[in-house]
Structure 1
């Protein structure tokens, strides 16, 4: 019995001397964008912005990339700080406020009365390595609806493709931020013009 106790202690001591395998630190990336406020402030309706949704494959914090048809993969050591829909939600509100087309822009689940509701869906957010340099593709579908009747007013798909400065996830995140600014600026202008009509 004593021999096995010594053997266990020796194994623990030996385990303490062995080098612990190092794991690579995961880097967290963010989606960010700045929007220039419109010089004119329209007296449009209040707009309720629903939390964006995402197509399957894009509703995780994994940073997606693509090399061949039907193959979606994720970087092992780089992730988004949150899912793309949750990161886009406050940016959508900022872009719509900057458009100057609405009396108020409210993020769901706000309970204030609004005339229009905006629903969006991330159809694609990925770094495409099928070309060189790689490029980031962002595709976002938007639908404006009348809050009272729940009937769609207008629907449109917005897309941007931005080349990456280098073929790595950090440069991919930079390109993604440029794509977000382009898409959300265009979406906000469209929403403001639609609301005016």
Structure 2
């Protein structure tokens, strides 16, 4: 091996060593996750209904794992050296599913990867999942537009925008992440209650299809012989029928008996 070759080899090592040291001395990325929800189990009897929770849609950069901050209106930046454990929409979906399961008023709650049958689907769009500064102090804002769909017909049963703002105790990344956790739990509580109300209204005997039952009673004397609550009960097969039409159908049925 010639002296000239050895000289070139040594010089190459001198060039590469500083670059290697820069790579190894980079600050490691810290991975964060949302705090587990602390909802208490409801004392109400669970409904025999299955809910599918889809992963919220989101535009860039909300659909990624970066912890975002809005230092000024219209400008988004990422906290250096910090990431969410997963993409933000997936973290939020998992937190919502856990909240529904802790609440316990629905027998089955699955995600959008499950092949299990469901009665309703919760879809949503995430338009805010970041911290921002107000009066010099950071706060976390989460904004979610939710829609509840009938899984069979894909009809939109209800829709609502949810927005939660929670102040951070200080500017540290740990305090901001903790504020994200509190904001997510507040959002989960609101969403669980709203979803439960819609499902009870749309899928249970005392909801949706049966809301006109009192109207039927105004047209019928249930004390007449042969007229029973069974005759007057609204049918899920014809949920759009008006009370007068249902009463006429009842009287026709009675005439054939």
Q: Secondary structure at the residue paired with 1:120? A: strand
The CA deviation string for residues 115-134 of structure 1, in whole angstroms up to 9 with x for no partner, is 11111222101110243221
Q: Which has the higher contact order (CA 8 A, sep 6+)?
A: 1
Distance in 2, matches of 1:13 and 1:124, equals: 49
Distance in 2, matches of 1:67 and 1:16, equals: 38
Q: Cα distance 1:113–1:16, how it changes in 2: closer, same or farther (>3 A)?
A: closer
Match of 1:177 in 2: 181
Question: More strand by proportion, 1 or 2?
Answer: 1
Match of 1:5 in 2: 5
In the alignment, is residue 36 of structure 1 matched against residue 40 of structure 2?
Answer: yes
Match of 2:60 in 1: 56
Q: Cα distance 1:8–1:102, how it changes in 2: closer, same or farther (>3 A)?
A: same
TM-score by length of 2: 0.71
Q: Secondary structure at the residue paired with 1:52? A: coil
Task: Could you list the structure 1 runs, at least 4 aligned residues long, displaced by more than 4 angstroms after superposition.
Answer: 15-19
In the alignment, is residue 155 of structure 1 matched against residue 159 of structure 2?
Answer: yes
Alignment root-mean-square deviation, CA:
2.0
Q: Secondary structure at the residue paired with 2:47? A: coil
Give the CA deviation at 1:186.
1.0
Verify the 8 A CA contact 1:101 1:196 in the aligned structure 2.
no
1:9-24 equivalences in 2 (<5 Å)? 9-12=9-12, 14-15=14-15, 20-21=21-22, 22-24=25-27
Give the CA deviation at 1:17.
6.8
Match of 2:29 in 1: 26
Question: More helix by proportion, 1 or 2?
Answer: 2
Structure of higher CA gyration radius? 2
In the alignment, is residue 165 of structure 1 matched against residue 169 of structure 2?
Answer: yes
Distance in 1, matches of 2:83 and 2:149, equals: 33
Verify the 8 A CA contact 2:150 2:156 in the aligned structure 1.
yes
1:49-128 equivalences in 2 (<5 Å)? 49-128=53-132
The CA deviation string for residues 41-89 of structure 1, in whole angstroms up to 9 with x for no partner, is 3324211111222233200111110011211111121111111111122
